[in-house]
Structure 1
Amino acid sequence: MRPEHDFYIADTSLVVYFQLYEITPYYLGFPYFPIPILDVADIIKPNSPLDTMITFT
C-alpha cells in the first residue's frame, strides 16, 4: 500500500480502493474495501472529518 493511498468516506465507512491493474485484472473493476468507522475509532485524530462523523452516529 502506498503512503498516500486512494480512499473516500461513504455513509459510516472509510473505503480504501485500488486503481485498475494495481492488484487485479481490468475486468474485475476497481477493488475496494470498506472499513467501518467505528472499527478504527481509537486511531482517528480529534477534530478530523471522521471524528465529526463518529459524534453524529
Structure 2
Amino acid sequence: MMATVKAPVEGYSGESVCGVVFTNGVATTDDPAALRYFESAGYEVEDKPKRRTSTKSAS
C-alpha cells in the first residue's frame, strides 16, 4: 500500500526516517515501519486509492 505523508512543517524538504524523502512537505512510502512512525508522530498519512480493474464476464 503506497501512502502519502504530509509533514507537520509545511514546505519541509529533506530526508526523514527510513530514508523517506519529503519535497515541499509531502512524501510517499509503502514502508510499514515508516508509516507507523509518521502516524504516531502526528504526521498526516493518507492511503492512496487502489486502482480498480474491471472484469468482463466470458460469454
Query: Shorter-chain-normalised TM-score: which range?
Result: under 0.3
- In terms of fraction of residues, the more helix-rich structure is 1
* Greater relative contact order (CA < 8 Å, ≥ 6 in sequence): 2
Scaled by the length of structure 1, the TM-score of the pair is 0.27
